[in-house]
Structure 1
């Protein structure tokens, strides 16, 4: 997979050199074009994982940005209004992620969004303790994390 990514970057740089326009938009277009060409000419099933992971990473980045903006607006609204709408609490989120890297990435992504903070992981690595500023329904909060960040992270990592 690393070899395909480096090939994609190299082809993107060749595209930029051939067009003579050094810009982010041109590089991204070259990346997308070379990705498409590599996908069309790939014959081996072992090379197919790269063509599944890259779209998942892009989707994950956009989902994270959406959640980040949404959480920032929610916290900012609560700060500027005279009434506090906070209902803080600590929630035990059961984990489907298993490796230390997956747990660390999930915990950091949760902590990066305003209003939530990963506190601890259980000793058996099956539960993540999360403090949240806005908990209306614990089950809904857990479902949002599992169907949002955790599911998308697992699509990338496995």
Structure 2
């Protein structure tokens, strides 16, 4: 997020050069600064914070979609006349290795109805997850790997 700070400083510098610190002028300076940082993104070795923000928004949208889908599935399961589920625990091997990424993945799994992150292994290589329906743990692992974990790695690496 240091590029965001640089962009704010560029906007303030624009305000100083033009002699006007109105909101509209500072916003214009911010947009000019963002354009300048975009043009030199390869030289400074960063894709830019706007690209990262798009990825974070994509992760947020994925979470909201999964939240709605899993809420619907849990509601159908609970309201069905006969409950045909196999609750259980499974181990998920982590690809993410930073504490913040592990915490985010564990929280996203827990916030999604029907799953609960129970523990993280001491070496931080595995998550222990309880699922309301654990009849196909390989599919659950695949869904996590191609969903939340992939989006987290895209957004924060």
TM-score band (shorter)?
Answer: 0.7 to 0.9
Alignment of 1:37-116 (within 5 A): 37=35, 40-43=38-41, 44-116=43-115
Quote the residue 1:4 is aligned against: 4
In 1, the alpha carbon distance for the partners of 2:112 and 2:137 equals 17
**SS of the counterpart of 1:66?**
helix
SS in 1 for 2:45: coil
Aligned to 1:154: 153
Structure 1 window deviating more from structure 2 (80-89 vs 145-154): it is: 80-89
SS at match of 2:51: helix
Matches of 1:102 and 1:72, distance apart in 2: 24
Structure of greater Rg: 2
Count of residue correspondences: 143
Query: Could you say which residue in structure 2 is the equivalent of 1:22?
Result: none
In structure 1, the residue matched to 2:129 is: 130
Structure 2, gaps ≥5 residues long: 12-22
Tell me: CA distance 1:127–1:40, structure 2 relative to 1, closer, same or farther (3 Å). Answer: closer
Structure 1 unaligned spans of 5+: 12-16, 19-29
Deviation at 1:95, TM superposition (A): 0.6
Q: Report the alpha carbon displacement of residue 85 of structure 1 after superposing the two structures with TM.
A: 3.1
Distance in 1, matches of 2:67 and 2:32, equals 30
When normalised by structure 1's length, the TM-score is 0.75
**Cα RMSD, aligned residues only:** 3.0
Distance 1:50 1:85, change over 3 A: same
